[in-house]
Amino acid sequence: MNAEQFADRAPIHPGSLADYQTWETLLRKWNARINLVAPKSLPEFWERHALDSAQLLPMIPQKARTIVDFGSGAGFPGLAVAIQAKHADLDQTVHLIESAGKKASFLKSVSRETSLKTVIHSARIESLPTLNADIVTARAFAPLHRLFPLAWQHLGKGGQLVLLKGEAVDDELTEVSKNWIFTSQRTASLSNDGGCVLQISGLAPA
């Protein structure tokens, strides 16, 4: 998949492709110095990373104001959300939480070069005061039994989770249902045959 094929397939706002291309260019440059993504995955940027992230965009309500991305790393999916907000002219701020200082510096570089409305937190999630998120996003961050307590800390009233999950999602949902109340909805992944976008609402301790 190339950039044009990505733009045709992904649910992105028209005109936002240039920001994704800037993101890819910076990722290639920085990845030579710090391990942001596996080097072998760089040629697959458009499908494995960009499309995987962009597919959750339709699940982010336009009325959401505060989006919090856990374990942002190279910006997947948080930067995709911020790019969409910019081009759709939405009043949204994306908080990117990344404890590794060098990765946080990369997120600041992409945000600066693409003029995104982000706040970069170079800290551990549990150390931050509540961010009262309307939406929490995460990709390849942690199993649900570890993610839910952190999300509970940062979700505002009525907040939801929009997560990119893999093949173990059924086992994870079974485990967390013992200690948490929630409603879940799954959408088949556009980029991973065994994956899904998992939406969680009504989260509360059982």
Closest CA to 5 of 46, 52, 53: 46
Q: Are 48 and 77 in contact (CB under 8 A)?
A: no
Residue 164 DSSP one-character state: E
Q: Are 50 and 25 in contact (CB under 8 A)?
A: no
Burial of 8 (0-12, 13-18, 19+ CB in 10 A): exposed
pLDDT score recorded for residue 53:
96
Burial of 41 (0-12, 13-18, 19+ CB in 10 A): middle
Is this model's pTM higher than 0.75 or not?
yes
Q: Which residues pair with 198 in a beta bridge?
A: 163, 186
Q: What is the CATH number of the domain that holds 57?
A: 3.40.50.150
Q: Which domain holds residue 196?
A: 3-205
| Contact partners, residue 192, CB within 8 Å, separation at least 6 | 52, 166
Continuous segment of H or E residues that includes residue 23: helix 17-31
Pairing of strands 118-121, 133-139: unpaired
**CA atoms within a 13 Å half-sphere pointing along the CA-CB vector of 91:** 2
* Per-residue pLDDT of the chain in tens (206 residues, 90 and over written 9): 999 999 999 999 989 999 999 999 999 999 999 989 988 888 899 999 999 999 999 999 999 999 999 999 999 999 999 999 999 999 999 999 999 999 999 999 999 999 999 999 999 999 999 999 999 999 989 999 999 999 999 999 999 999 999 989 999 999 999 999 999 999 999 988 889 999 999 999 99
pLDDT score recorded for residue 40:
87
Q: Are 202 and 180 in contact (CB under 8 A)?
A: no
Packing angle of the helix pair 169-176, 144-154 (nearest 10 deg): 60
Q: Which residues pair with 95 in a beta bridge?
A: 68, 119
- In total, how many domains does the chain have? 1
